[in-house]
């Protein structure tokens, strides 16, 4: 049954701000279709919709570009999707101060274009950056292949404005880098999947646009030999800003098919560099030489345009709407644990041939399945359990980024609830006592 807005909201929600009934299925997540999709044009409208929904006991899911809408557990209910894509203004940009403040609905690509006019950039990455919005990126704490240099979105965030479940707006941090007043609530909201409040505004510290960028690729006989070479790169004083080991299956999806790459056991090392022109040239030259010295085959240096294309493909891998995998698992590990995990993968007897992407500098390992047997929740839950046991043994954790609705019903995609989950429950109860915002999506199905 679709929802009808009360007369009091007609003044703040424009006629075209309510998606027609036939368009609701396009906002479905995990088999749940909302009863209404509202596209507010102002923060006042956001506040009033939330206040109404909270009073009526309706469940609300904030949404940006919808690029990672399926991340997290299945929601305990979905009545309203709050599409924030119309809140897309740059509110303040001070190139000299290296800061910018924007509304949550602006896309990452558009923000970077605006900042580039002043010679600056935000240290943010996200899949499908032409659609991913700043609010969405913050809510899932999205990152990309350069996370070793950029960090996570919360590391660039200096201020935030959030509409609570009752519609009241609160602020944390400020618009200047040196603002240190009060508790760092920025990190509380980043990664909370909109379950604690709806992000409507964010301020970031910026960086100067690099003068030059590039990348180096080299193929190796196995994941283990590739990982050993990547480890050597990590320990060089000229170390690239991003260093990755990808399996042959992942390389194929990225459009990298160097000569001599064994389709089942081979791997490719990718190194990204950016900065001042002379420094980047040195990094690319010395990195390519090191890979050759350690047995790398078909070592190639990509110019700025080729490196940018590869970086975008790398960031988007596993999230393209027309090529969605049936399952994706990400291991968050200490950096030293990535090489160990790669040596243990053969013992798992993995179903199909997953694409494997390792970031030994930051400590992540992703496995993505496109093909293989039909969905089998018994088998898949066993695979997930094995990965979690390995991740925990190495001091990390494993998150199921994508999977079938059947598997989601059987597991917590975030992993076994840690001791801190009760603290998280108390925070949720304090900030959203009626469970209005994305109930059930976070760890512990909070």
Q: What is the pTM of this model?
A: 0.94
Is 50 exceeded by the pLDDT of residue 165? yes
Structure tokens at 397: 């954790």
CB 230 within 8 A of CB 269: yes
Write down the architecture of domain 321-410 according to CATH. 2-Layer Sandwich (3.30)
Structure tokens at 25: 């299925």
Cβ neighbours of residue 331 under 8 Å, at least 6 residues apart?
Answer: 341, 364, 365, 366, 387, 390, 391, 396, 397, 398
Please state the rounded mean pLDDT for residues 244-250: 95
Work out the burial of residue 372: count CB atoms within 10 Å of its CB; fewer than 13 is exposed, 13-18 middle, 19 or more buried.
Answer: middle
For residue range 66-78, list pLDDT tens digits in order.
Answer: 999 999 999 999 9
Q: What is the C-alpha separation between 397 and 390, in angstroms, rounded? A: 8
Please determine whether the domains at 7-83 and 90-208 fall in the same fold group of CATH: no
Confidence of residue 275 (pLDDT cuts 50, 70, 90): very high
What pLDDT is attached to residue 180?
A: 47
CB 60 within 8 A of CB 35: no
Report the percentage of the chain scoring pLDDT > 70: 95
Sketch the domain layout of the chain as residue ranges: 7-83, 90-208, 212-316, 321-410
Confidence of residue 384 (pLDDT cuts 50, 70, 90): very high
- The fold adopted by the segment(s) 90-208 is 3.30.465
State how far Cα 344 lies from the chain centre: 26
For residue range 195-205, list pLDDT tens digits in order.
Answer: 999 999 999 99
For residue range 391-405, list pLDDT tens digits in order.
Answer: 999 999 999 999 998
Using the CB atoms, write b or e for 39-73: b if 16+ within 10 Å. Answer: bbbbbebbbbbbbbbbeeebbbbbbbbbbbbbbbb
Considering only residues 2 and 271, tell me which one the structure prediction assigns the higher pLDDT: 271
CATH number of 7-83: 3.30.43.10
Confidence of residue 257 (pLDDT cuts 50, 70, 90): confident
CB 326 within 8 A of CB 369: yes
What pLDDT is attached to residue 12?
A: 82
Is 50 exceeded by the pLDDT of residue 328? yes
Which stretches does DSSP call E strand in 233-372? 242-247, 267-275, 297-302, 327-332, 355-359, 364-369
Structure tokens at 185: 């609530």
CB 432 within 8 A of CB 416: no
Confidence of residue 7 (pLDDT cuts 50, 70, 90): confident
Average model confidence (pLDDT) across the chain: 92
Q: Which helix (H) or strand (E) holds 215?
A: strand 212-220
What pLDDT is attached to residue 40?
A: 95
Confidence of residue 184 (pLDDT cuts 50, 70, 90): confident
Report the percentage of the chain scoring pLDDT > 90: 80
Confidence of residue 263 (pLDDT cuts 50, 70, 90): low
Write down the architecture of domain 212-316 according to CATH. 2-Layer Sandwich (3.30)
Least confident among 172-181, 232-241, 380-389: 172-181
For residue range 216-238, list pLDDT tens digits in order.
Answer: 999 999 999 999 999 999 999 99
């Amino acid at each position: 049954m679709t929802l009808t807005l009360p007369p009091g909201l007609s003044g703040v929600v424009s006629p075209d701000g309510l998606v027609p009934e036939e368009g609701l299925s396009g906002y479905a997540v995990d088999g749940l279709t909302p009863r209404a999709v509202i596209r507010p044009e102002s923060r006042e409208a956001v506040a009033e919709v939330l206040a109404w929904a909270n009073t009526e006991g309706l469940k609300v899911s904030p949404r940006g570009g919808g690029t990672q809408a399926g991340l997290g557990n299945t929601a305990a209910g979905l009545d309203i999707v709050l599409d924030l894509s119309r809140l897309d203004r740059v509110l303040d940009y001070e190139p000299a101060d290296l800061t910018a403040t924007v509304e949550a609905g602006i896309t990452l690509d558009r923000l970077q274009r605006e900042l580039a006019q002043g010679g600056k950039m935000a240290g943010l990455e996200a899949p499908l950056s032409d659609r991913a919005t700043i609010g969405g990126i913050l809510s899932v704490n999205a990152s990309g292949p350069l996370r070793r240099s950029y960090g996570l979105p919360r590391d660039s965030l200096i201020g935030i404005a959030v509409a609570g479940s009752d519609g009241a707006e609160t602020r944390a941090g400020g618009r200047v880098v040196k603002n240190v007043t009060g508790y760092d609530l920025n990190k509380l909201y980043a990664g909370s999947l909109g379950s604690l409040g709806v992000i409507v505004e964010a301020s970031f510290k910026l960086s100067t646009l690099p003068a030059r960028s590039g990348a180096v690729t080299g193929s190796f006989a196995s994941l283990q030999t590739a990982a050993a070479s990547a480890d050597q790169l990590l320990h060089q004083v000229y170390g690239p800003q991003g260093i990755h080991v990808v399996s042959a299956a992942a390389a194929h999806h990225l459009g990298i098919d160097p000569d001599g790459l064994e389709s089942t056991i081979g791997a490719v090392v990718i190194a990204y560099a950016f900065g001042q022109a002379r420094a980047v040239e040195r990094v690319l030259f010395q990195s390519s030489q090191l890979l050759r010295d350690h047995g790398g085959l078909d070592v190639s240096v990509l110019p700025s345009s080729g490196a940018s294309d590869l970086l975008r493909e790398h960031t988007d891998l596993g999230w393209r709407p027309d090529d969605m995998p049936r399952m994706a698992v990400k291991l968050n590990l200490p950096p030293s644990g990535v090489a160990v995990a790669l040596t243990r993968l053969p013992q798992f007897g993995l179903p199909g041939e997953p694409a494997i992407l390792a970031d030994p500098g930051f400590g992540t390992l992703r496995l993505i399945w496109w093909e293989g047997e039909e969905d089998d929740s018994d088998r898949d839950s066993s695979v997930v359990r094995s990965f979690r046991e390995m991740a925990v043994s190495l001091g990390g954790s494993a998150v199921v980024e994508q999977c079938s609705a059947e598997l989601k019903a059987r597991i917590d995609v975030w992993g076994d609830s840690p001791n801190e989950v009760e603290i998280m429950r108390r925070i949720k109860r304090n900030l959203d006592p009626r469970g209005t915002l994305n109930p059930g999506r976070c760890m512990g199905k909070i």
